Chain A
């Protein structure tokens, strides 16, 4: 299986901050990397697919980059509704795996 790691596990931020989360795959996954946002008691929401493509309806303050094994997710200016947990997920393999998550509070 392809293992996914994320850092940091959690971060404290304030409204207006620029935040960056990193995700690393245990082997090259090309650009088959997706990012999700999850709020407590809710289903995950797709934000970014294929490493850098913004899902329809998602604000442009969210962005992603990277390829191979190293990826980054950025919120350019944190908004109150962005406090949540963020997960990366690889879809290179037919066996999907998620990162452990990064809690932004």
Chain B
């Protein structure tokens, strides 16, 4: 059974870069049937899709964040990562990684989420 687990610093200073990693177990990121996404949720608010990556490295990003977001994949470590630069308090949120199955075009498996606070 595929499981996803986010990891990374829980506190980031303003203007710095937020970095999170999603480790995939029970399956491979190198399988062509899936995309790998990041979604975030500020406290008490809705879900915001940040972007996704395919095993080949092809990416799609939310245009509202595209200048600050980078998603990469490391097939040797079976994980994918999120970098968000020049963060501010508005980037404080729970960050989820998720798998998108190509046959359903839906996010069918999610990590538990990682809380990231931007504060000095």
Contacts and interface: CB of A to CB of B under 8 A. Distances in A.
Interface string A71-105: 00000000000000001010100111111110000
Residue of B52, B61, B63, B107 with highest tally of chain A CB at under 10 A? B107
B11 interface: no
Interface stretch (B13-21, B72-80, B110-118): B110-118
B113 to A, nearest CB: 6
Contacts of A22: none
Contact of B105 (A45, A91, A99): A91
A96 B38 CA distance: 11
**Range of interface residues on chain B?**
20 to 34
A10 to B, nearest CB: 13
Contacts of A91: 100, 105-106
Contacts of A19: none
B64 to A, nearest CB: 8
A23 B10 CA distance: 34
B60 A43 contact: no
A43 B95 CA distance: 10
Contact of A97 (B49, B61, B104, B108): B49
B106 A98 contact: no
Interface in B1-50: 37, 39, 46-49
Contact of B107 (A46, A50, A53, A99): A46
A21 to B, nearest CB: 14
B63 A32 contact: no
Interface string A15-59: 000000000000000001010101000011110011001010000
Listed from nearest, the 8 A-B pairs whose CB atoms lie closest are A91-B105, A43-B110, A49-B106, A96-B49, A49-B104, A34-B106, A98-B47, A94-B60
Interface of A: 1, 32, 34, 36, 38, 43-46, 49-50, 53, 55, 87, 89, 91, 94-101
Interface of B: 37, 39, 46-49, 52, 60-63, 96, 98, 100, 104-108, 110-113
